[in-house]
């Protein structure tokens, strides 16, 4: 199997920098590493997953669909698939990994480690403010849990690195 057939699964709190790092990964991997596709959770929720809310059951289905799609694209396109999903609990991360494994696709979970206070500061849409006032229910980190990893996942701290440095750190650990 080619090294290009793989899934890089970026996860972390809302506004942690997942999409920004994904965009840097695309730029850095596209030149020398073959095809790279990006699956963004926000985009999927406007189309394929627009029928899903944020209950735990809907989060499970959101991740299941995304992981199945990522596996298919990786295998059929001999492609690196970069996914950016909050994936707030270990069971959801395990689900994504098990789907990739069942399909024979190497899976690299990457925790985008940004403290809650920094995520709140970066929130240009005001979601954290709305959630803290009770206007948004089931918002990760406020009214819905986020479980930090305790395993061997790649962990990228965004506080002291540029997005390009974060991407390079991910690439060096693949």
Domain architecture of the chain: domains with CATH: 6-172 (3.40.50.300)
Q: Note whether 91 and 63 are within 8 A (CB).
A: no
Say if residues 43 and 116 touch (Cβ distance below 8 Å). no
0.75 surpassed by pTM? yes
Percent of the chain with pLDDT over 90: 63
* Mean pLDDT taken over the chain: 90
Mean pLDDT of 80-86: 95
Q: What is the average pLDDT across 78-83?
A: 93
pLDDT of residue 34: 74
Average pLDDT estimate for 123-146: 83
Please indicate whether residue 105 or residue 131 has the higher confidence score (pLDDT). 105
Give the pLDDT band (50/70/90) at residue 1. Answer: very low
Q: Going along the chain, which residue ranges are E strands?
A: 6-11, 36-40, 80-84, 107-113, 154-157
Question: What average pLDDT does range 110-139 have in this prediction?
Answer: 88
Is the pLDDT score of 3 beyond 70?
no
C-alpha angle 121-126-130 in degrees, rounded to nearest 5: 115
Q: Residue 91: pLDDT above 90?
A: yes
Whether 85 shows a pLDDT value over 70: the answer reads: yes
């Amino acid at each position: 199997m080619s090294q290009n057939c793989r899934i890089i699964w970026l996860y972390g709190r809302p506004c942690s920098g997942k999409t920004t790092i994904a965009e840097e990964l695309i730029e850095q991997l596209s030149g020398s590493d073959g095809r790279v596709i990006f699956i963004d959770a926000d985009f999927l929720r406007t189309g394929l997953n627009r029928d899903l809310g944020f209950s735990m059951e809907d989060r499970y289905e959101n991740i299941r669909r995304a992981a199945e799609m990522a596996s298919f694209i990786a295998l059929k396109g001999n492609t690196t698939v970069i996914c950016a999903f909050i994936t707030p609990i270990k069971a959801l991360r395990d689900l994504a990994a098990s789907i990739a494994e069942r399909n024979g696709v190497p899976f690299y979970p990457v925790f985008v480690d940004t403290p809650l206070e920094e995520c709140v500061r970066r929130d240009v849409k005001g979601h954290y403010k709305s959630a803290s006032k009770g206007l948004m229910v089931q918002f990760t980190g406020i009214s819905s849990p986020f479980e930090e990893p305790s395993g061997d996942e790649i962990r990228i701290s965004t506080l002291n690195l540029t997005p390009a440095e974060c991407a390079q750190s991910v690439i060096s650990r693949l």
